A = this chain, B = another copy of it.
């Protein structure tokens, strides 16, 4: 008997990415140097940080002038006014602003700390912002990989998120192309013929988590993982990460925190 084996391949020796770089090309070249074939059905998981860098979404701190509003909020949350200036530009709605933390719904609909603006793995004089439209970023990389290799892959852009109720962070998908965000079991039957009424797995978040296992967060320099043989993932040419967003009204966890 042969079992199902999914492979998660972390590409070693990925070069540092700069604004304007052709990220798809770098991925294809680095895969080749790693002796990894890119094949139809592969899922390419990319760390948000290098997508932001390639798209020039890194801001020099010296070039940021905080507004009155940013200065006021910065005092409240006790953070650098220049960080807050960037966060406000990325924010649709402030959810919590305290001296401990600033949580917002960003303009993409993501609920996250500081609208995803941070300093890790960018030059010390800079902040990085999330890609303007991560689905679009994923789609462009997918299409460019098809152009370069002739292969039809899916792309998931992942970022590291804190979450309520549990300590520590996990990886979330923030942009997708070529893959359905869910594996929906609703309406199927289980081993005992019970109807599954609720199970709708956010498979792209699980994929981002699986990829983070080989990526790491510090000096590993493994910002891309290729997942092979994940038969359960379903392709889609028009899916969006926005399908994961839930309104406060619909969120069954409302009023629990």
Residues of A within 8 A of B (CB): 1-13, 16, 33-36, 95-96, 100-101, 103, 111, 113, 119-124, 160, 162-172, 181-183, 185, 188-194, 196, 198-203, 205-207, 209-210, 212-214, 216-219, 221-222, 230, 232-233, 243-246, 248, 251-257
Contact = CB atoms under 8 A, between A and B. Distances in A.
A72 to B, nearest CB: 20
Contact of A200 (B4, B100, B169): B169
Given A185-B218, A196-B120, A5 B3 contact: no
Given A193-B124, A219-B188, A212 B202 contact: no
Q: Copies per complex?
A: 2
A123 to B, nearest CB: 5
A221 B122 contact: no
Contact of A256 (B96, B182, B183, B212): B96
B244 A200 contact: no
B216 A212 contact: no
30 contacts: A1-B35, A2-B12, A2-B34, A2-B35, A3-B12, A3-B36, A5-B7, A6-B10, A6-B214, A103-B252, A103-B253, A120-B194, A124-B194, A163-B164, A164-B251, A164-B257, A166-B202, A166-B244, A166-B245, A167-B200, A167-B243, A167-B244, A168-B181, A169-B198, A170-B206, A185-B218, A191-B219, A196-B218, A207-B213, A213-B230
